[in-house]
Amino acid sequence: MTDPMLFYMHLPKTAGTTIQNLVMRQYEKGELLYFYDEESIQKGFANDEIKAVIGHFRYGFHQFTTKPYTYVTFMRKPLKQAVSHYYHYYENKSLEEVQKMTIEEFAASKYNYNFQTRFISGENHIESDPEKYLQIAKDNIDKHFTMVGITERLDESVVLMKNLLGFKHSFYNSSNINEKRQQRPELTASAIEAINENTLMDQQLYDYAVKRFDEQIRTIPNFEKQVKRHVVANKWFQKLDPYYIKYKRFTGKL
């Protein structure tokens, strides 16, 4: 039986770039497609020969294939995801509209409001009945997601990916970390309250994903030992990986 096409749904600011790079290493050149801008997402694709699709698309992107499919994504605690998302826009000046917002205004905007629930439900506008779309997101996870990784439990997540998806390895290097942070707007108590008020569905969905994650872990034999071995081996990988990348580029395999 052919493996299902993998849709890695990269939710912004959930360690997605780190996991994207891990996923990329599992496939040969030409077996992947990437969708990170709205225009390409709207166009979709017509290539059933590929094995994996990666990008900032919502659930439903499988409409462009006739092959069996499965989804994987990562979730992060909503408060942390929202704050990181705001600071990303603020520091990179990639969205002028957000540049003019306070954190409180961002919290209630379309860029934050139950952001993770909207992606996983596949519906962008859920304000009319958020509880309904929360249930849709839960149903999608149960029916169509091999796993939902947890950002705060990254090592456990990548080991679970390796087991459930048959990946060759679970090594990763942390990517897209802003080490030169500019002066940021203060995260006030009122900002935290505003974010929490506008991510109520995300908080419930995150808790649901964590519960499912723990249930999946319990089905994997010797999981804790696997994680411990992974942590040790991954430290060596992170030291040697820059040299491997140089070699791949030199040989034209990257």
Cα 12 from chain centroid (whole Å)? 6
Cα dihedral sign for 212, 213, 218, 221? positive
Q: Given this model, what pLDDT does residue 176 score?
A: 59
Q: Given this model, what pLDDT does residue 47 score?
A: 84
Number of domains in the chain: 1
Q: Given this model, what pLDDT does residue 186 score?
A: 82
Pair 6, 165: CB distance under 8 Å: yes
Dist CA 178 CA 206 (whole Å): 25
Indicate the pairing of strand 5-9 with strand 52-55.
parallel
Indicate the pairing of strand 32-35 with strand 5-9.
unpaired
Tens digits of residue pLDDT in 95-111: 778 888 888 999 989 88
Residue 149, domain member (yes or no): yes
Residue 119 makes CB contacts below 8 A (sequence gap 6+) with 9, 11, 58, 59, 73
Q: Residue 211: give the domain boundaries.
A: 5-76+131-183+206-251
Reading the block at residue 48, the tokens are 């059933």
Q: Given this model, what pLDDT does residue 250 score?
A: 46
Residue 82, domain member (yes or no): no
Dist CA 60 CA 136 (whole Å): 12
Residue 110, domain member (yes or no): no
Side chain identity, residue 79: L
Q: Given this model, what pLDDT does residue 134 score?
A: 98
Residue 97, domain member (yes or no): no
Low-confidence ranges of the chain (pLDDT < 70): 1-2, 93-94, 176-183, 241-254
Residue 142, domain member (yes or no): yes
